[in-house]
Amino acid sequence: MLSHIPTYAAKYGLDNSICGDCPLKLSETGSCYVNLLTPNNIYHSYLTGNYPRFSEKELALLQHYHYPIRLGSYGDPTVVPLEVWEPIVLASGKYTGYTHNWRDTNSLWKQYLMASVHSIPEAKQAQSQGWRTFRIIAPDAPLSDNEILCRHTEDDRNNCSTCLLCDGKSSKPNIADKVHGLNWKVSNFLKYLESKSN
């Protein structure tokens, strides 16, 4: 079905079941950094039966090797029930994840996900509700007193699968990262920030 193809769904705003009401999606501000060609390829592979289903065997491997996982590499992980994610998260023990749905989701997600925010007031609101935050900032924007810059942005030899600072509720600091992606997406994000500050 055409409406299920990620690029089509994103273009026409049919991706609520994936991205929720994220303000960065293509049909809103057009500033999400995700390259949708990868989800497209995964979707086509799934349709042709070439994408294996996750089974007890994979769960056992994950538990044995503790491979780090990213909850929701495309889309908001909270659109999938927590009871589906939790066995995978617990088997790995090493994870990162983000949600724009932090205002309305089950508070149990705080232990696994960072609240995605785009302004200092929004960050303060999320933090007051017990979330650690991940704030996307303009390239020249200062950090808040309780934030550090993404370690990969500081040094691209650092990667998420070894850093794992973005693992939800803990005593670790809040993270900020400079907006990145295609130039037109960065430009759209900066316009979005400007619109929010007016």
Where are the domains positioned within the chain? 2-47, 60-197
Q: What is the pLDDT of residue 33?
A: 86
Among 176, 165, 73, which Cα is nearest to 118's? Answer: 176
Q: What is the DSSP string of 56-106?
A: HHHHHHHHHH---EEE-SSS-GGGS-HHHHHHHHHHH--EEEEES-TTTS-
Average pLDDT over residues 38-45: 91
Q: What is the pLDDT of residue 164?
A: 94
Among 31, 10, 8, 7, which Cα is nearest to 19's? Answer: 10
Residue 197 in this model has a pLDDT that exceeds 80: no
Average pLDDT over residues 22-28: 91
Strands 69-71 and 174-178: unpaired
Residue 129 in this model has a pLDDT that exceeds 80: yes
**Per-residue pLDDT tens digits for 64-117:** 999 999 998 789 999 999 999 999 999 999 999 999 999 999 999 999 999 999
Average pLDDT over residues 29-36: 90
Biggest CA pair distance of the chain: 53
C-alpha distances out from residue 38 to 31, 182, 196, Å: 17, 15, 30
